[in-house]
Amino acid sequence: MPTVTQHSTGTFCWLECATPDTAASKKFYSSLLGWTWKDIPMGDSFTYHIAELGGAEVAAMYVLSDEMKSQGVPPHWAAYVRVESADAAAKQAAALGGKV
């Protein structure tokens, strides 16, 4: 697999998993994809888990908060897309009928 050092505009640039059970999810994705994990404490009992493959950071994971669960937020993957300008992308999304 090629090493990506820069993402082109309009391409996916980051993946992030929200899960109620990071230990089980980390075990699953490690066995499925060969990922290893770097855990980064962020304060207030929150840890951001960075998935690595071949020494490169490839995705991240965090636990769904009680507030998110109470609002009905399901476990999910979020995919981030690189843009040149967040303001311009938001304006374009609104012009195309999206909500900002």
Cα distances from 85 to residues 9, 20, 72, 91, in angstroms, run 10, 33, 31, 10
Determine the average pLDDT of the residues in 4-31: 92
Using DSSP, state whether 64 is helix, strand or coil.
coil
Determine the average pLDDT of the residues in 19-29: 97
Q: What is the pTM of this model?
A: 0.81
**Pair 59, 35: CB distance under 8 Å:** yes
Whole-angstrom distance, CA of residue 14 vs CA of residue 82: 9
And the tokens for 58? 């490839």
Place of tokens 């490169």: 56
44-74 residue pLDDT tens: 888 999 999 998 999 999 999 999 999 999 9
| Residues contacting 56, CB < 8 A, separation 6+ | 3
Amino acid 1: pLDDT: 60
Does residue 5 surpass a pLDDT of 80? Answer: no
Could you tell me the pLDDT band of residue 89, with boundaries at 50, 70 and 90? very high
Determine the average pLDDT of the residues in 28-34: 97
Amino acid identity, position 1: M
